[in-house]
Amino acid sequence: MKKYSLFLLALVLILTSCGTGGLNSPQRLNNQAENLPKIGTEEGGIGGEQIVDDDDLESDINYYDINEDRELTNSFLNEIEEKKDIVFQQNTSNNDSNKLNTNELLNNINSVSAAHMYVTQIPEDIDIDIQYHNYDIPYDYLLITPESVSIYEAPSLESTVLGKATQYSKVKLEGRANVNYTNITQVWYLVSWLENGETVYGYVIEDAGIPRKFRFDIMTDELRRLEQALTQYPYGYISNYKNKNGSPPLKDGKAIDEFGIQAYQSAPAYYSLENKNEFRYFPDGMIVFILAEADGHFKVRNLVYNEEFWIPKNFISFDDNLDRLDKAIIVDKANQNQVLYENKNGRWTMVSYTLATTGVPEGNKYETPTGSFKVLQKRDRFYYLNHRTGEIGGYAPYGTRFSAGAYVHGVPVDYIKQDGENIDPGMKEYLLTIGTTPRSAKCVRNYTSHAKFVYDWADLNDTAVIVID
């Protein structure tokens, strides 16, 4: 069989025009192979920050130095540029790559024992009307984790090597099989990609990567739970952005509770009004359902924490409340991806699905909070501090804020210091690391074009953000 020089492009299919069904990774750009994802969406220049008040500035949104992500990305793209023969053809046959490729696939997977197929599908009660087409992603995919992985023609280390996959590539995952070899059971993944319009299959050993998927079923369940609760109870949301409604008390002398929620930009939630030494924090933006009121407090519940709590009224807002639930951004921290749903003619409809990067769970302080939130604010850009220097480090484009300083936003732009000036290198579309591992500080990092799609699409009065573990 022909050897394929396989770099699997890490779903680099930047700005492709694809169908609604997803794409077999790796792929080539839909236009010209030379148009690698540099995507400067503006030319840049002198910084010229418009810092009107404190709200325009956030703390550092990058847990890891964003330049590390950019160096990884540039190194990957340079390797692709040098080896154009590995840039794969776009699928032009109008096949839905998220549907089972029956004959050849079954022949491949049935040739080994104890096989399992990956066939994630959209729930039947969800319609599909994809409105964002820049990246076309398999519903099931394998995230390559080592620096280099061999792809074999058959599930054997003695088989022909078809090519190599590089770290942080995402390739369509077709199946999983247990293979007995010299009295040792090995686990292999069956993967596929497109080569000159034809589906090619290969095998990688189990430790080559991490299986990922879009958990549409769980996302749909969480969406319907929120929808039902909003019809059953009066509701508001936690409002304490930058502690504007008060500084919560410390928990056992600490500004973080046992669940990892910080006091800053949160509300104290007491288990009982008789004992105010026992409480936890509810993060800013979280939707709460009102059960009762007494002594300047609301008794509330939410959809994440199992108990009922008393929260001081000054921390709960009904301003710019959800008038209705028509749209939802659902973020999956475990799989590092997200889906957008919109209620169209009484039916929930998937309008976008993409990869995402969430906050690092280091002591939970920088982790993207789990739960149901409302969209609080939209900014075409917001600025962030460099935590090492305390100066303005750069900005993030197309921010949709849903909790404290946590936004859905595009690729962060670090300023370049030159002669005492902040030089804006211009917005960038793509990072190789998006959809791999948590790397931000609470925010949900998107490709910039998708962040703009969210920014234009979401509304303060009809859009919720649901974050699942």
Q: Is the dihedral of CA 286, 289, 290, 291 positive or negative?
A: negative
Contact 397, 452 (CB under 8 A): yes
CB 315 within 8 A of CB 239: yes
Q: Over the stretch 412-466, which tens digit does the pLDDT of each residue have?
A: 999 998 888 999 999 999 999 999 999 999 999 999 999 999 999 999 999 999 9
Report the Cα 21 to chain-centroid distance in Å.
19
Given this model, what pLDDT does residue 135 score?
A: 84
pLDDT band at residue 201 using 50, 70 and 90 as cut-offs: very high
Q: How far apart are CA 404 and CA 384, in angstroms?
A: 14
Q: Which two tokens stand for residue 413?
A: 């732009």
DSSP 14: T
152: which strand partners? 161, 203
User: How much is the mean pLDDT over the chain?
Assistant: 84
CA distances from 386 to 12, 98, 201, 304, 440 (A): 29, 41, 45, 33, 13
Three-class SS of 222-259 = HHHHHHHHHHHCCEEEECCHHHCCCCCCCECCECECCC
Q: For the stretch 20-38, what's the b/e string if a residue is b when 16 or more beta carbons lie within 10 angstroms of its beta carbon?
A: ebbbbbbbbbbeebeebbe
Average pLDDT on 205-228 reads 97
328-383 pLDDT, tens per residue?
A: 999 999 999 999 999 999 999 999 999 999 999 976 678 999 999 999 999 999 99
Residue type, 70: R
Distance CA(384)–CA(413), nearest Å, equals: 10
Is 164 in contact with 198 (CB distance < 8 Å)?
Answer: no
Largest CA distance in the chain: 76
Neighbouring-strand partners of residue 180: 185
Give the CA distances from residue 72 to residues 76, 129, 142, 167, in Å, rounded to whole numbers and listed in that order: 6, 34, 19, 10
Q: What is the mean pLDDT of residues 265-275?
A: 97
Q: Alpha-carbon distance 194 to 212, whole Å?
A: 19
Span 88-95, mean pLDDT? 31
Dihedral, CA of residue 375, residue 231, residue 240 and residue 270, to nearest 10:
-150
d(CA 383, CA 404) in angstroms, rounded, equals 14
What does the pLDDT read at residue 110? 54
Give CB contacts under 8 A, 24+ apart, made by 377-381.
377/401, 377/460, 378/455, 378/458, 378/460, 379/56, 379/407, 380/455
* pLDDT band at residue 302 using 50, 70 and 90 as cut-offs: very high
3-state secondary structure 36-95: CCCCCCCCCEECCCCCCCHHHEECCCECCCHHHHHHHHHHHHHHHHHCHHHCCCCCCCCC
In the chain, the amino acid numbered 393 is G
240 has pLDDT over 80: yes
Separation between Cα atoms, residue 167 and residue 79, nearest integer Å: 13
